[in-house]
Chains A and B, each alone.
Chain A
Amino acid sequence: MRAIHFDHVSKQFPGAPRPAVNDCSLEVEAGSFVVLVGPSGCGKTTLLKMVNRLYEPTGGTISIDGTEIRQLPVTELRRKIGYVIQQVGLFPHMTVAKNIAVVPQLLGWPREKIAARTDELLALIGLPPEEYRRRYPAQLSGGQQQRVGLARALAADPGVMLMDEPFGAIDAITRTGLQDEMARLQRTLKKTILFVTHDVEEALRLGDLIVVMRDGQIVQSGTPLSVLTQPADAFVHDLLGADDMVRQLGLLRVEETMETVPDGVRRSDGPTIGRDNDLRHALSLLLRTAATTLTVMEGETAVGTLTLDQIHRAVLTGKANEVHH
């Protein structure tokens, strides 16, 4: 199961003055990283929790790969969907390995397969299995706990992952590390991820598609660069900080902006930058080194040059493509 389809989904909680989610339709492509962003109370978490039926919609339908989610028994549905929450919710009476093994056990996997999978996941999230598998959650740092939470959600290799502000309670430095790691994991795992955050920086860093919500409705959805450069209204403009040029630069890639040098010969001895980097790093490097030109490298070969002027033009024209694809 991969693609998720929201069809006019609404959720009215009993006694609430207005619906928490109001007539939301959204197409989530298989393998895409979709970030729901918006102020608190905008309905993003409610929308997320209707996918694994922790909340039931009061209107509309949600389908995964064309099958309405209510067709499946709820426990079966949930075992096919990875779920990560801000408070992590690891079971304190179980070791790290036992925590990760929960869903495989529910699915009745044989013991050796579970043990192998647990070790594989611990290695994947950067916690050496020999050292960590027998520890208890209380013996881990906050960042390590959330890594285990992520491994637990990935255990049975679900096609869909729901992540509800997973890094919201983690300190800024660890959070950036986890975001990088999440982006790295997604490049190889290719899950369909629905990710809720109120952190715009995080949304732009991680998402292929940004879905902006307000008052229970979807205000705009699009690629990070498109929502940032063409905000639908003043609300989106302000929420995303669309005037923040440095933020935009973070979404533009060096290789899309540089001037190519065909012969691979370095033109100067000045500072160098990798072609995969973004323009925010490039600008920072230019300012720090007081150089006029950066040499763009691919491994040991010079492939292009980048000047302050080119960066300036890239911002003005908005021609370059996004970093995330």
Chain B
Amino acid sequence: MRGNSLSINIAGLQLKNPVILASGILGYTSASLQSIAENGVGAVVTKSIGLKPRSGYSNPTVVQTKCGLINAMGLPNPGIDAYASEIRQAKALLTVPLIVSVYGFSAEEYAETARRAVEAGADAVELNVSCPHVKETGVEIGQNPEVLVEVVRKVKAVVGKPVIVKLSPNVTDIAELAEAAADAGADALTAINTLRAMAIDIETARPILSNKRGGLSGPAIKPIALRCVYDLYEKVKIPLIGCGGITDWRDAVEFLLAGASAVQVGTAVALKSPAVFKAINRGVSAYLRKKKLESVKDLVGLAHRS
């Protein structure tokens, strides 16, 4: 009964609970995805995979600030050729949906990588059109409605599985991009990716990250992400996945109330531990019982009534 109360369907993906591993966190190998799955996630999202291998930036790639982490990994990944076998292995191990995060330097690259990810067994793809620290991809795609529409259309044309679009907060109006993605055929939206940020060491008077600029994650961005989800719920009909600074069940409930059908957790895996997934689910379950609600579905968007 408790398991049932947490289950939710997002654009055809059946999740046993609404807590998803966010992209970029421990998502290289099938063994690590499986290990996270054992910690009670509803689904996992892989690291962002591109058409070709990328080494990413040199260290420091992560810096802790007083209010969260700033990272600029630089999209290190083995490329879809090598990663296809990891997807196949992960599919053989996992009992939860496998969402492959995909990036590209053109609409064609997004489409080809997504197609091959699905061919290898991905249950869905999440388009990274929001990475804030690599030129000519990520947010440079996702901040322009016309380019974004082209990417989503080309991916949808070659992929028969749900296509999720992960949006950036580093734009003037996130709702405009969300509507463009939805109109182009996106099946769901993830909001949000990290916020452009940096840290400078005052002793050496140097930016700490090797890439100088990175993306801020963690508790500091939660209120921003929450506002984005709340706004998007009023603008688009497709399901929303909340992401940004979620560290406990209260945060997760807030996102559900704002209109998210599920949430993604990333930074908290490091700041707490992989056990954070179970803890969030336990808390959401208890909250449902206390509020005498049958299902997590009853929470979605509840803060919008009146």
On whether the two chains bind one another, the answer is no
Q: Which residues of A contact B (CB under 8 A)?
A: none
